[in-house]
């Protein structure tokens, strides 16, 4: 693969805190390697800003391996940038060409208020998980789990749903800022496995209730969430969530 360098113009959202109105600021970066990751490019820019005595751009990052879901950037109108099923930390600069202007923003959702610059408060997801996205009964150790017969198709579907990293790209992509793909993945993961059966009804009711409290919007099935999810989570999980919620409501007193 050919290696090359490029000069770019960045239009980056700067916002001091949640109460600040915020604005775009323009930065020029030069001699950027095509083999850099998008976050490494921001590291180079921030080193320069610090050297100049300016405030560096705040952005979330942790593992930089596409696992943690922290690298939440809206790049040129798409969460995580132009590559399909890819996180920002795994986006390389070869996705762009010399002379490009790149616009970078934080997630835009009522439930994800901006903390500073490109960093948003996504603890709403944590509170949804705390409401019921877990198994509290004694399910034994790993050996016991392996002794439980599970249909191969269900096991595969549960594994695919469990791939959700909770980055919030689905919310950022949705015109209604819906969190149903995230919640659907978490519900599906546990509903498909026998270990999740004892708390099946209360789990979905409690998690949906918390989701609504957090101010996420409704789903109108446009599919933008699935299209932009870095892990390719299917919207069939939303259909399964709706089924689980309906059945829990119909049998709540039984």
Q: What CATH number is attached to the domain comprising 143?
A: 1.10.1060.10
Q: How far is residue 55's CA from residue 240's CA, in Å, rounded to a whole number?
A: 46
- Which of residues 90, 116, 142 is at a domain's end? 116
- Which of residues 89, 116, 143 is at a domain's end? 116
Residue 135 shares a structural domain with residue 89: no
User: Quick check: 241 and 180 in contact, CB under 8 A?
Assistant: yes
Model pLDDT, residue 143: 74
Model pLDDT, residue 68: 96
- Which of residues 85, 116, 147 is at a domain's end? 116
- The torsion angle over the Cα atoms of residues 164, 167, 173 and 176, rounded to 10 degrees, is 90
Q: How far is residue 219's CA from residue 178's CA, in Å, rounded to a whole number?
A: 6
Residue 77 shares a structural domain with residue 98: yes
Model pLDDT, residue 138: 81
Structural domain of 35: 5-116
Rg (CA), the chain: 20
Q: What CATH number is attached to the domain comprising 83?
A: 3.10.20.30
Model pLDDT, residue 1: 65
Model pLDDT, residue 147: 79
Question: DSSP string of 93-125?
Answer: GGGS-TT-EEEEE---BTTB-EEETTEE--HHH
**How many structural domains is the chain composed of?**
2
- Show Cβ contacts of residue 130 under 8 Å, excluding neighbours closer than 6 positions: 210
The ranges of the chain with pLDDT < 70 are: 1, 145, 252-254
Model pLDDT, residue 146: 74
Model pLDDT, residue 144: 73
């Amino acid at each position: 693969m050919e290696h090359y360098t490029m000069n770019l113009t960045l239009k980056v959202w700067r916002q001091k805190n949640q109460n600040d109105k915020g604005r775009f600021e323009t930065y020029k970066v030069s001699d950027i390697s095509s083999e850099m990751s998008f976050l490494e490019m921001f590291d180079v820019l921030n080193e320069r800003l610090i050297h100049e005595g300016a405030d560096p751009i705040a952005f979330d990052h942790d593992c930089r391996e596409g696992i943690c879901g922290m690298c939440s950037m809206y790049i040129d109108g798409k969460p995580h940038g132009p590559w399909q099923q890819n996180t920002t930390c795994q986006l390389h600069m070869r996705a762009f060409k010399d002379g490009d202007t790149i616009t970078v923003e934080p997630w835009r959702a009522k439930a994800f208020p901006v903390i500073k610059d490109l960093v948003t408060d996504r603890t709403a997801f944590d509170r949804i998980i705390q409401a019921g996205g877990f198994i509290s009964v004694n399910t034994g150790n790993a050996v016991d789990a392996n002794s439980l017969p599970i249909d191969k198709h269900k096991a595969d579907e549960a594994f695919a749903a469990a791939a959700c990293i909770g980055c919030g790209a689905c919310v950022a992509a949705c015109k209604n800022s819906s969190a149903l793909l995230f919640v659907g993945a978490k519900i599906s993961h546990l509903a498909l496995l026998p270990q999740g059966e004892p708390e099946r009804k209360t789990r979905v009711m409690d998690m949906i209730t918390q989701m609504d409290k957090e101010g996420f919007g409704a789903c109108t099935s446009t599919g933008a969430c699935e299209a932009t999810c870095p892990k390719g989570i299917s919207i069939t999980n939303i259909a399964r969530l709706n089924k689980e919620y309906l059945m829990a409501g119909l049998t709540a007193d039984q």
